[in-house]
Chains A and B, each alone.
Chain A
Amino acid sequence: MAKIDLSNISHSYNPNDLNPVYALNPFSMTWENGNRYAILGPSGCGKTTMLNIVSGLVRPSAGRILFDDKDVTDLKTEDRNIAQVFQFPVIYNTMTVYENLAFPLKCRDFSKNKIDERVNSVAETLNLQSFLNSPARKLTADQKQLISLGRGLVREDVAAVLMDEPLTVIDPDLKFRLRRNLKEINEQYKTTLVYVTHDQNEAMTFADNIIVMSEGEVVQTGSPKELFERPNTTFVGYFIGSPAMNLFESEASSGNSVKINNVLIKTHTNLSNLKTKNIKLGIRSEFIKIAQNQNENLVDVNVEKVEDLGNYKLITAKMGNFTIKSKVNRETEIPNQKVKLHIPAEKCCVYEDNKLI
């Protein structure tokens, strides 16, 4: 267990070329002890590189890594006391399930009793007790992944457990249970868990802190609520949430209002110091409702389709050239074609050059 500091880390896989391509642009970050973090981003954005740097499989081209303020940048993987679970189950084929789980402890010369105790405890958490003596290679893919996970959890003093999309191969049903298990383990043992995923739901339900990445850049770090309500960039707004955030090209008007299709929308953002005209208004479809008795921030739209998605209805409508999406309660009756929608000013995000003002 440790606090992990990443200070000015950057990485390129071809640092000596004339034009090195950076898989990770310089960033700094602190992972507090005992928290749950999710690294979220599309494929190829540098998530795995970041994990490999922390575990020591990759040495960063620049920057330092500190575990509890101790510099470990040049420490070898095996001396870092870190656990990592990969996307596909990696098991030691020639060993039994018990031997697999005991391996990290054996390598570190734990006593036999201690090994026994830890292996049994982890096996219980992961429901593997009945397989302990079977050869690991005979298990199904998701059971194998449980073993990988178990090897990560078997050391109590581990600095952090890094997981690289660990639940990809696991049934949805078991996935849900495992995520809950991981949360319990984190609460019980105060193990720092870092979870890489490209699935926002997984990230939102698992982590108390989400790190959103795009093209080697850390775009935003924050709680799920922050990411959802105040995305730092249009990328985060687009990437997080289903459907994606509504984004409209707009013009700044006086004070803190913007104009979309000649309709004035008030926001809570001061727009007097704008440098460019490239302004976008972002609003989550969850916050757009059919107007009741509000008298400002109203837009007239033509409803194109209404989808009943079980727990809510999704309205897709046209506002001039723009498409606007709104999530409303299932019970809401949606009048014919023409509807007035209300855009709450406090939920509006204004982006200049795709960055939140």
Chain B
Amino acid sequence: MDKLYIFLKYFFIVVWTVFVVAPFLWALTTSFKDFQSVNGGVTYIPWVDFEPNLEGWKVLIKSPAKGGVDIIEPYFNSMFVTCTASLISIILGTLSAYALSRYTFKAGFVKNNDITFFFISQRIMPPIVLSIPFFLFLSSINLLDSLTGLIVVYIVLLMPIAVWIMVDFFNKVPREIDETALIDGCNPYQAFLKVVLPNSIPGLIVAGMFCIIFGWIDFFFAFILTFTEVQLLPVKIVALNSSVTPWWSLSASALVSVAPLIIVAFIVERYLSKGNLSGAIK
């Protein structure tokens, strides 16, 4: 029984690992191939089946004038927009979530839960519904095709995630902890900053991670709201495609674009598994 269990466990782990890793391996080998090795039948093993070269990678950093595509600028644009929007969303989202969790709001039939749902409902709508309003809004304030405009839009998209995660998290932090801080002599702001917030680091990390992921992978709004001045990474990668699909540079750029998320995942996973994040108060 035990042996069967262990066998099944490792069997599924192996299957899942293959499932997850295979696309990366595929992209990795493809990124070192040339036209012939991709289109001339199946090849697997470098130096045996095909001769690896760095063309796919070199194109990414060469300027367009030299026949390259230069994804460095879009890369940093993406990082800047994602990080700034995530940071602002987390700050605003955490503050609103704390208020929604601790204080009672009432405006007619609208109560705390309805407000929370309103935030989340912004993500339930298909993005296309928002595209025209956003386009008109940004054009009216002259922020089309600019990093600032994208940050504004991304805050709208990311803040619901932060609010949603943090409301849930704060609801799980007992009220007594705020009350104790008040009794111990903090004012409500100090109680939030010194006591509740340090206890909520796990929630902040999870919310931050989601914001970064959703900000980083967004193609739709980056595509609609920018043209030539500013380009974000996902748009640039899609723009790589032409009449002859350059599988090698597409693969290389795909790998480069997921790299930051993989790094974030590893760091957070380390931190999570250390047990530092168990939010137990009782």
Contacts and interface: CB of A to CB of B under 8 A. Distances in A.
B182 A90 contact: no
B67 interface: no
Contacts of B182: 56-57, 76-78
A112 to B, nearest CB: 17
A43 interface: no
Contact of B186 (A78, A93, A148): A78
B202 to A, nearest CB: 11
A138 B282 CA distance: 11
A108 B176 contact: no
A90 B184 contact: no
Contacts of A185: none
B183 A83 contact: yes
A103 B177 CA distance: 13
Contacts of A313: none
Interface residues of B, number: 21
B180 A57 contact: no
B43 interface: no
B173 to A, nearest CB: 10
Contact of B281 (A57, A76, A83, A91): A91
Interface string A120-135: 0000000000000000
A231 B180 CA distance: 36
B183 A93 contact: no
Given A84-B180, A88-B176, A94 B186 contact: no
Contacts of A137: 280
Interface in A83-117: 83-84, 86, 88-94, 103-104, 107-108
Given A89-B282, A93-B280, A78 B199 contact: no
A84 B179 contact: yes
Given A89-B282, A90-B176, A141-B282, 7 more contacts: A57-B179, A77-B179, A84-B180, A86-B179, A86-B180, A90-B177, A107-B186
Interface of B: 174, 176-177, 179-187, 190, 195, 198-199, 201, 279-282
